[in-house]
Amino acid sequence: MSNANPQLSVILPAFKEGAHIFDNIGKVRAQFAGKFSFEIVAVDDGSPDNTFAEIQRAAQQWPEVRAVRLKHNAGKGEALKRGFKAARGERVAFLDADLDIPPSQVEALMAGMDRAGVDVVIGSKRHPQSDVDYPWHRRIVSGVYYLLIKLMFGLPLRDTQTGVKLFKRAALADCFPRILVKAFAFDIELLAVLHARGYSIADAPVVIEFRGQLGMFRPRAVWDIFTSTLSVFYRMRLLRYYDAYQPKTAPEPPPRVSIVVAVKSDNPHLRQCIEHCLGLEYDDFEIVVLPDDPFTCDDPRVRIITTGPMRPAEKRNLGFRKATGSIIAFLDDDAYPDFHWLEEAVGNFTRPEVGAVGGPGVTPPDDPLLAKVSGHIYEAWIVSGHYRYRYVVDRMREVDDFPSCNLIVRKETLEKIGGFGTNFWPGEDTEMCLQITKTLGQKIIYDPRVEVYHHRRPSLVRHIQQLANYGLHRGYFAKKFPQTSLRLAYFLPSAVSLWLLLGWLTLWLPAPWVGWLWIVTTAGYLLLAAASSVSTNPILFLLTFAGIVASHLAYGLSFIRGLLTTKMDH
């Protein structure tokens, strides 16, 4: 029994369930058949086996089944979000595809929702009426986690991780777009946001028939859940990210996007960049690569325009003028996008006042140790301060300066300002953003979901050289472009550097308190640097700590050089 707006949508996220998914879909269907209108949205989370083929077979056999596939394994949370986009029901249930929890439990949750008049009902292993036999070690972990989330979020729940939940559609439609977690702690983030936004939640007893392996939790998995939960707490209580979120509407039809990559030559990072771009969850795009020398790529969506030796800004200008898209997405060759990069970015352009969109460039999880050190340094508040949002996921905001490693711009905006200026590198993006915001009066939006992974420098020496170059140009820009560069935050590293290097001279002054002031403030600075370097890896901690101090010195002294420079070399 099915119609355009069924009473219930059951979302089944599945990963490597090819051996069981067809039969399990059949069991879910049999549970509801003839009782009320329903649909089953089965989502393959990028499985390498025949999971999606079996889901398609079920969809061909039963009209109530809808097949959804993610191109890549993105985690249970992302699979549920994608399933919700396809779902049409007045109520939406989440049910694990392995059916450890029988589908009959969904009906019990529906009855509980009607009885309590709430927006959300979740199954709870810790409910006194639940019939659950699971190992003692899981009970301990579950109990500790319950106390943690009770303290952090005040949720009126005894369990958040059980794999059966029921929602009114309006509650999910409001909260799902705000969710960032894709795997670990997805459930707690969703429930915390629902609770914070005033939706009523109740728990209900469940019967669980464990069929999988029930070994001890791996320490790494426990740590990942713990750190993910802390991240949700930080975003909710300190950053106020969820309150700052601005809903987006996907444009219809989706605009064509041209991804422009300026590069000197073919390299492994570029190939990774192209591979991930080709796997984007977006249909209408092209990739325009501009190398000095020609190379080949077989995919017709990739256009290679050989430029010869040319500055990055000149390559980007050539790229956007040759592009066929109405939206131009600038991406560095040593960065690769999240699979929903364009999908998230284009929603911002439904607002006519928005000329450009940027997002964080986070450190890839598989970067080598020294590159991770560089990433940790950029992520440290004591280094990046207010501009830390460029390197980590932060709250949505309006900005007036953003790097071109992850910057998406309307083509008509670029045409009006003539593209990038070619007098500076780095810094050409600062000049262009100034033209967008001040000359055209358009907005640049920072959207944390417009995420790319940006490889860091593979050695501390190259990291320091990069920061010194940034400091030199920013010091010069403080005079050249004071609207966006004459700011206290850019001067602070210079003050710190001079104090660290010259403050010891105060020890010889007649007033001893001045020398003690230098000692105390220097010790305080070093403590802050150490606190910003915290890591479970002691080597990563020590290198980050030393790198933070070296970064301040390199940037701060180079910034002074830039201030004193009368003409910047191109």
- Domains along the sequence of the chain with CATH: 8-244 (3.90.550.10), 257-458 (3.90.550.10), 485-564 (no CATH)
Note the pLDDT of residue 206: 78
- Which pLDDT band, with edges at 50, 70 and 90, does 216 fall under? very low
Average pLDDT estimate for 241-250? 81
Inter-residue contact 18 to 103 (CB < 8 Å): no
Bond before 368 cis per omega within 30 degrees: no
- Inter-CA distances, 360 with 336, 350, 407, 451, Å: 12, 21, 10, 5
Residues forming beta bridges with residue 328, ordered by sequence position:
258, 409
Residue partners of 365: CB distance under 8 A and separation at least 6? none
Q: Is the pLDDT of residue 200 over 90?
A: yes
**pLDDT 10s digits, 47-59:** 999 999 999 999 9
- Which pLDDT band, with edges at 50, 70 and 90, does 24 fall under? very high
Average pLDDT estimate for 280-309? 93
**pLDDT 10s digits, 400-448:** 999 999 999 999 999 999 999 877 666 788 889 999 999 999 999 999 9
Note the pLDDT of residue 344: 92
**pLDDT 10s digits, 114-169:** 999 999 999 887 776 666 666 656 667 667 777 888 888 888 777 777 778 999 99
Up-side HSE of residue 343: CA atoms within 13 Å toward CB? Answer: 13
Residue partners of 211: CB distance under 8 A and separation at least 6? 98, 99, 100
Average pLDDT estimate for 446-467? 94
The pTM is what? 0.82
Q: Is the pLDDT of residue 215 over 50?
A: no
Note the pLDDT of residue 224: 74
Cβ atoms within 10 A of the Cβ of 501, count?
A: 12
* Backbone phi and psi for residue 408, each to the nearest 5 degrees, phi listed first: -115, 125
- Closest by Cα among 211, 332, 209 to 269: 332
Inter-residue contact 377 to 365 (CB < 8 Å): no
